[in-house]
Structure 1
Amino acid sequence: MITKIYKSFVFSVAVLGLSSCVNNWLDQAPANGIPTAQAITNYNDAKTAMYGMYDGLQGNSTYREYYAARMFYYRDVHGDDMQARNQGMRTSSCYEMRYTADDAPAIWNVPYNVIRRANRIIEAVENKKIMDADKYQSQINDIYAQAKVVRALVHFDLVRIYGNPYTVDNGASLGVPFVDTALNTDAQMGRETVANVYEKVIKDLTDAVNSGFLYKSVKVGEKQGFIDQWAAEALLTRVYLYKGDNELALSTAKNVIMNSPYKLWTADEYADAWDKMNAKHTGEILFEIVNNGSDDWADREGIGYLYNEDGYADAICTKSFVDMLKADKNDVRINVVLPLKNKKDGNGNPTELYKIYGDEPVFINKFPSGQQSDPRLQNLPILRLSEVYLNAAEAAMKLGGGAVNEAVLYLNEIIKARSIDVSAAKVVDNNSITLEKVLTERRKELVGEGHRFFDAMRNNETIVRYESQDNMGWHYALNEDSRKFDRTYFRAILPIPVSETNANPVIAKQQNPGY
């Protein structure tokens, strides 16, 4: 693969292993999976390698550049619904967008190491290296299909971070290297086009979905922490939507909605269901990263701690977003955006934060302290049924014609499920529904889960933090070009990390424009 990535792989796995993830599905084997030098030759090896693959999605406090934290906050504070609370916070660089190629946040090495782990599983199965395959054929097939989905997920993440949205030029510009084999450490791959990456991502997903190998859960939570058939299809509908293939996005989403066991949380369930200890938690979560301990990535650098007032209180909702959410007094989603708890200091005087925010709700509570009294212990939602409904509604609106009826149906299901008074819910009909309403509902539903920035870029929207001191809200001073921008702004795409361009002259010649 890319030189830097694979030279660092053994080291990265070792470091990840030191943290010893204690997820219940990792108790059976070391979290670092199968070492690079060890072949996958039997079912137990394959199962252990699968645990390591999933563990890699998290990263840890040293390599927290993936779903441990950065993959969430990069996409949140890059947009207009969340912001870094102040300068010098962990999310500040992503929010301020002043970075250069030398100091930009990176989401590169850890994702590619996850891809390597997935590739080792895939190659072991395809090359018939697993000696006891006949005895465990269905289990091995399932692991193989899961590895295909994880490989697709990670490449899809990377191409969105380092390449233009597909809709800019139908994928003609450069994306990222697509790695589908375990290459030597001295291999130097170049970047493929965005279109090529999407094509291969979709092939991996459709191969897995159509294989019949993935477990098809018949009740929620059966495969918690693992990819099942429904999670794979949910990811596929997301990819189709980003690609602009609205017909396939809609048909795939409809299959998940109509045939999976997952159901939308009700208005009464919504606020508490984010706590993984709640009985309703798994009701609409198709795939999440499971965490049962605080000695791995779920430390003070994890996303739960970053977003919590009693943690680092690092990132908050913007005033414009809070105002939008408060506009509907019946919307229960305001209940997962919390006001300050600590309003007075030891002398009984208002705290500095209270002087700024007063009683306004500012802190996202989708990683709550909950029944375990620790936000670091919450799971990380990656795919939810509510997104699938919104994908269906958006795709149907873009198709137009008779499909608008379906857009109305799916959007109204979300609106009603998030209203404390269904009779007063602001439902739409064929005359009142607009794409803007669908996208606004998407913002309200998915805030804090790392969607807004990519949604805005693929739909060619303009991100507006503030335009003058009169409408700064809670924003602190930003460079002018980061206050309001669209997808033509070169910093809307991250630079390929310097560590990679220094190690790989092929990639060095393909750095993103502006860097």
Structure 2
Amino acid sequence: MKKYIFTLLAAAVMTTGCTGDFLDKAPSDSVTTDEAITSLKDVRTANEGLYALMASTSYYNASMFLYGDVKGDDMQATYWSSGYTSYKYYVYEHSAQSPNSGGLWGRPYYIIRNAYNILSAIDNNKIQDASAEQLQNYKGQALAIIALCYFDLTRVYGYPYAKDNGQSWGVPIVDHAIGFDEFPERKTVAECYDFIISQLKTAIPLLSSAKDDGHINAIAARALLSRVYLYCEKNEEAFQEASSLIEELKASGEYYLATRDNYIAQFDFGNKFGPEALFQIANTTSSNPGRDGLSFMLHWWGYAAVALTEDFAAFMKQDPDDIRNGLLASYLNAGDNKYYDVLLKYPGENSYDVPSFENNYTVLRLSEVYLIAAEAGLKAGASHRAQALEYLNAIVERGNPEKTVSDSEFTLDRVLDERRKELVGEGHRYFDMLRNGKTMYRSGGKHLQGTPAEVNWDYFKCVLPIDRTQFTFNPDMPQNPGYAKD
């Protein structure tokens, strides 16, 4: 495939959108390209800056989760949410002139750039007051964060791997902090996944396995690797990575599945960094997204910009004894005198009736690893089927002990059903359906006019367009199919 190039950094400045700080302004705890990293304190500060950049409404404090939920069939924008990112995602309001990416281009690339500054300082032996173990762990975190950013860029801007074995366009891959005069090539989806996997494989041996709240450790990186394998159809590898991690955690007890009795409580405001939380975005009273964060967007007494679809609420209520129904609530809206079903995974500090700005957001959770092992084992073949079914039933039976899945019921659709029950509101449903070539039906109920009624990987807007400013730098670069260049 012929390669096309473009000026990544300059273009990202113009497409960052609501962040506005891709190059001109960095957060106070991040490090810009002209600032030296020469001590352990500098490395620590720069490392915290990466997480601060991730904790943006342009990324994991809102946009990434909203993108993965409201573009699917289980959550939707409300009619009073026009103007919010969630509404634009929901109605697929995307064009080269107005990509409405929510920052999902500029923010990840900004993080990647700063992560490479840390790697450069460590690799060039600029840090003389730190132990090798300390530097290895910081290097591992930077590599894992780069991998996570590229994974998200690839699944937002590139078609699912299974659609064409990864031969469609992905995103540009760079291996250092680039400047304005460099021209990185846009890679295929397959090449992007190869790069992401290589970064994680390099990172994991460097990382500590000790729990490190709000940071990526070796456990979180392995969970991410199993997810990446699943997305790029490496099902044998996904099963091996997920299952080995599960069994090791069973033995160590460092992380464990919440019990049925404690299931709802694990999402309480006061239970941040719980036993299932492999990696969370941490928010505090002094550092949080305010009213623009995910919790305020979803909370009925916040903006209530996102609600559950009637189809999903009805699906959950088919099994009233499923403990996860305790995370759903119905509220009457005075505007149209209709009841809306909402999700209670992001409650306030003292009451479900008071929204909070300070919720943590879980990027990687142990329950997902069980479901990765179940799906990957099913797809990989008969030798893993029995164990994969055990992992699925660990999640199913926690929800309702009377609903054990039999071998004859163990199908991909059954696994996807369990994923939608377990992971709703955590940014997975849209990607789960898309990567498996499934169609999402979005009509009836309270669905709004103007939203696509059916969405699958053949709908060109299932991926975001390249912003028109990119073509200023390289007019020959191909746009994603179906979109114009201007």
> What TM-score does the superposition give when structure 1 sets the normalisation length?
0.86
Q: RMSD of the TM alignment (CA)?
A: 2.0
Question: Structure 1 residue 395 and structure 2 residue 376: aligned?
Answer: yes
Q: Distance in 2 between matches of 1:379 and 1:500?
A: 34
Query: What SS is found at the alignment partner of 1:288?
Result: strand
Instruction: Name 1:328's counterpart in structure 2.
Output: 319
Instruction: Name 2:338's counterpart in structure 1.
Output: 356
Please state how far the C-alpha of 1:326 moved relative to its aligned partner: 0.8
Please state how far the C-alpha of 1:351 moved relative to its aligned partner: 1.9
Q: Distance in 1 between matches of 2:305 and 2:12?
A: 33
In terms of mean alpha carbon deviation, does 236-245 or 3-12 score higher? Answer: 3-12
Question: Structure 1 residue 70 and structure 2 residue 63: aligned?
Answer: yes
Please state how far the C-alpha of 1:485 moved relative to its aligned partner: 2.3
Question: Structure 1 residue 379 and structure 2 residue 360: aligned?
Answer: yes
Q: How many aligned positions are there?
A: 463
Cα pair 1:2 1:186 within 8 Å, conserved: no
Please state how far the C-alpha of 1:14 moved relative to its aligned partner: 6.4
Instruction: Name 1:308's counterpart in structure 2.
Output: 299
Instruction: Name 2:460's counterpart in structure 1.
Output: 490
C-alpha distance after superposition, 1:132-163 (max 9, x if no partner): 3xx42211110000100000000000000000
Instruction: Name 1:404's counterpart in structure 2.
Output: 385
Query: What SS is found at the alignment partner of 2:187?
Result: coil
Cα pair 1:66 1:110 within 8 Å, conserved: yes
- 1:377 maps to a residue whose letter is E
Query: What SS is found at the alignment partner of 2:479?
Result: coil
Question: Structure 1 residue 197 and structure 2 residue 167: aligned?
Answer: no
Instruction: Name 2:4's counterpart in structure 1.
Output: none
Q: Distance in 1 between matches of 2:265 and 2:23?
A: 35
Matches within 5 A, 1:181-220: 181-209=176-204, 211=205, 213-217=206-210
- 2:123 maps to a residue whose letter is E
Please state how far the C-alpha of 1:500 moved relative to its aligned partner: 3.4
Instruction: Name 1:39's counterpart in structure 2.
Output: 36
In terms of mean alpha carbon deviation, does 187-196 or 114-123 score higher? Answer: 187-196
In structure 2, stretches of 5+ residues that fail to align are 1-6
Q: Distance in 1 between matches of 2:12 and 2:183?
A: 10
- 1:57 maps to a residue whose letter is M
Instruction: Name 1:469's counterpart in structure 2.
Output: none
Please state how far the C-alpha of 1:99 moved relative to its aligned partner: 2.5
In structure 1, stretches of 5+ residues that fail to align are 18-29, 344-349, 467-471
Please state how far the C-alpha of 1:509 moved relative to its aligned partner: 1.8
Q: Distance in 2 between matches of 1:251 and 1:153?
A: 20
Matches within 5 A, 1:474-485: 474-478=446-450, 482-485=452-455
Q: Distance in 2 between matches of 1:329 and 1:72?
A: 27
Cα pair 2:13 2:22 within 8 Å, conserved: no
Instruction: Name 2:238's counterpart in structure 1.
Output: 249
Instruction: Name 1:447's counterpart in structure 2.
Output: 424
Q: Distance in 2 between matches of 1:139 and 1:499?
A: 41
Q: Distance in 2 between matches of 1:264 and 1:89?
A: 38
Cα pair 1:108 1:497 within 8 Å, conserved: no
Instruction: Name 2:9's counterpart in structure 1.
Output: 3
- 1:165 maps to a residue whose letter is P
C-alpha distance after superposition, 1:6-56 (max 9, x if no partner): 767994466553xxxxxxxxxxxx42x223211211211111110001111
Please state how far the C-alpha of 1:297 moved relative to its aligned partner: 4.6
Aligned partner of 2:159 among 139, 154, 164: 164
Query: What SS is found at the alignment partner of 2:261?
Result: helix
Question: Structure 1 residue 290 and structure 2 residue 282: aligned?
Answer: yes
C-alpha distance after superposition, 1:103-142 (max 9, x if no partner): 121211111000011111112112222233xx42211110
Q: Distance in 1 between matches of 2:305 and 2:21?
A: 30
Cα pair 1:174 1:191 within 8 Å, conserved: yes
C-alpha distance after superposition, 1:34-81 (max 9, x if no partner): 23211211211111110001111122xxxx321121111111110000
Cα pair 1:93 1:104 within 8 Å, conserved: no
Question: Structure 1 residue 269 and structure 2 residue 262: aligned?
Answer: yes
